[in-house]
Chain A
């Protein structure tokens, strides 16, 4: 774990070296709050839960996480620091995992800073805190999934903007996979099994299940397997492109 921890520390501290990280946190918090109150009608619903708060997380992540992940590898490649980075006594896998964990911790911090919402519902009423805890856990797992996708795609290109657009596109497919639009596109030509498979790959369905307060092993396995798969792909891509 030594090298991973070293990469983690370096990367995590790196986030706070520039104002960009703070701007990300500020935008995330302001949007999460505004969506909850103005689009989710939190007060008007009058129910002490965080359903409307979590409702918008997939879409917020879809927009914001590619901005966090786009620099993970693209910047290293553009500036040529990747060669230097990989000459250090750490494996590509350790580097990938370390960077990913740092980004995940950073997004986790942003998520943790939404704690006033939790306090608010506890002051205003008597919420089911088990459900809220599950919501946060689900949200964190989903954020990790977006990040894993973004991390891998950021290694594909030297251009951060291209990495951003690629990540948004792929993440959108994973987010909206369960929605009518995507299913409609697939079912025109694919058999039912494929349509079901596409649906089961949607973040929305798995996240909704967890946010209801039930940690189903299938949902947990989905997110963990997805993160592991994209990180494994990330390792391959970094290895493949390191000399480019």
Chain B
């Protein structure tokens, strides 16, 4: 038996924990920026994606140009960048769209799944914060 590691902040064990961790940050900053507006938008976002698709939803959020729309779009893009092996930062609307236009169908499907999985957490945390 090895001795247990010192209780420093260890890396998350599962991907789902990682999602939760990131979503917590996103939700905190979103609520900080625009409170209830962000909360309701996070609640609506999964239905928007399911009914209209990921790219349409990101385009819609971008077109609204209000702070809570911008914040949520940024959080989705940041997470997609993290999951794609990139840095935890927003690549921006244009670069994000350009990248997705070149996605193979299975990549686009995975991106949609990931967006929904992070929103699942953001939605809960935003409601709880």
Q: Do A and B bind each other?
A: no
Q: Which positions in A face B, CB cutoff 8 Å?
A: none
